[in-house]
Structure 1
């Protein structure tokens, strides 16, 4: 396929030095998925490309691409930045983890559909000061489907009951009603409210969730539950997650 000049809208989330003065930057885009761009000469003092490739910059990037491999960045326009994420270590850590998760759920140039909107929603909220951990838990629950392990949250996986007290079963890949707790002795043993939070953040479109306010105890329990689900079903080993966990130990 011949290379074409394309405009892509997206968010920069990884960059590294390449050769002496070049930069490789990963961008999550609305229409073309995740792309790696080569910006030649971006590290030279007179280059304007470097400032447009800082992490958590977003806007329109004009690239030469043939739909696979490296794309060449030619220029850009209307670049802004999630300033509070860029300068705040906690916001930065949560946002980096979110984008790292999405990066591992898809191959480059794969259409990511609603997950770009989810990423943009998450960063907008975190940048605005909304609880970064709660936003991250929303993304984690909604991203399970992209990894091919979409949980059943609407009803009991055994009897399809939709109302009542529920717990989460990794074995069955979804929620169990109290009538069927006995079928999985290794269910997560969550309190009904904790399971209700997982169901809510996993099912509702992110833009309808608004600001979820839950107690620190409940948030800690749902964090632990989500970690268990990911470890058992996907088993990623992300540096961004390790750093986030270290930060949580300090706070």
Structure 2
């Protein structure tokens, strides 16, 4: 395919040295998905490209691209940065994990659609000082659909009941009412409040969840539950997740 000059709006979330003086950077865009671009000479002392490719920088990037493979950064416009994410280790770790999850859910140049908006919402909230753990759990529950394992959270998988006490079944892919707990001995054994939180953060529009308040104990339980769901249904092995665990943020 022919390469063309194209402007994209995006957020830089990964960068690494390439050859002697070049940089590779990944950016998340809404309409063009995840793009890997090379910035030639960005590491040379007089280059201005490197500063525009710091993690959590965002703005307009002008690329030579064919819509597949590696694109080439030509220049940039109006670059800003999520300063809180860049300078705070904890915020940085959560934001990196969120964008890593999205990166693994999509192929390059695949449109992210609503998940781009979800990611931007999450980064903005964490940058502003919102509960980063809770924001991350929201993203994880809503991102399951992008991995092709969207759980049934609206009603019992067996009888369709949508009121009462529920638990989560990984094997069956969603919630069970108390009358059908017996159908899965390996259900997560969450209490009703914990299951209610999973349902809420998985179903409600994310913009309505920005100020959700959850006790530390419930948040700890839902964290363990979401970890189990991801481990048993997707089995990702992300360095960003390991780093969060090492920080004891999910304990």
| TM-score, normalising length: structure 2 | 0.98
Distance in 2, matches of 1:122 and 1:33, equals: 17
1:16 counterpart SS class: strand
Distance in 2, matches of 1:34 and 1:249, equals: 27
Distance in 2, matches of 1:99 and 1:47, equals: 27
Report 1:49-88 matches (<5 A).
Answer: 49-88=49-88
Distance in 2, matches of 1:152 and 1:117, equals: 23
* Deviation, structure 1 residue 210: 2.5
Distance in 2, matches of 1:193 and 1:68, equals: 46
Tell whether 2:201 aligns with 1:201.
yes
Distance in 1, matches of 2:250 and 2:8, equals: 39
* Deviation, structure 1 residue 111: 1.0
1:248 counterpart SS class: coil
Tell whether 2:40 aligns with 1:10.
no
- Point out 4+ residue stretches in structure 1 off by more than 4 angstroms: none
* Deviation, structure 1 residue 208: 1.6
1:225 counterpart SS class: helix
Judge conservation of contact 2:220–2:250 (CA < 8 Å) in 1: no
Distance in 2, matches of 1:196 and 1:111, equals: 31
Which stretches in structure 2 are left out of the alignment for 5+ residues? none
In structure 2, the partner of 1:36 is 36
Which stretches in structure 1 are left out of the alignment for 5+ residues? none
* Deviation, structure 1 residue 205: 1.3
In structure 2, the partner of 1:97 is 97
* Deviation, structure 1 residue 100: 0.4
Alpha carbons of 1:3 and 1:133: their partners in 2 closer, same or farther (altered >3 Å)? same
Aligned-CA RMSD value: 1.0
**How many matched pairs?**
251
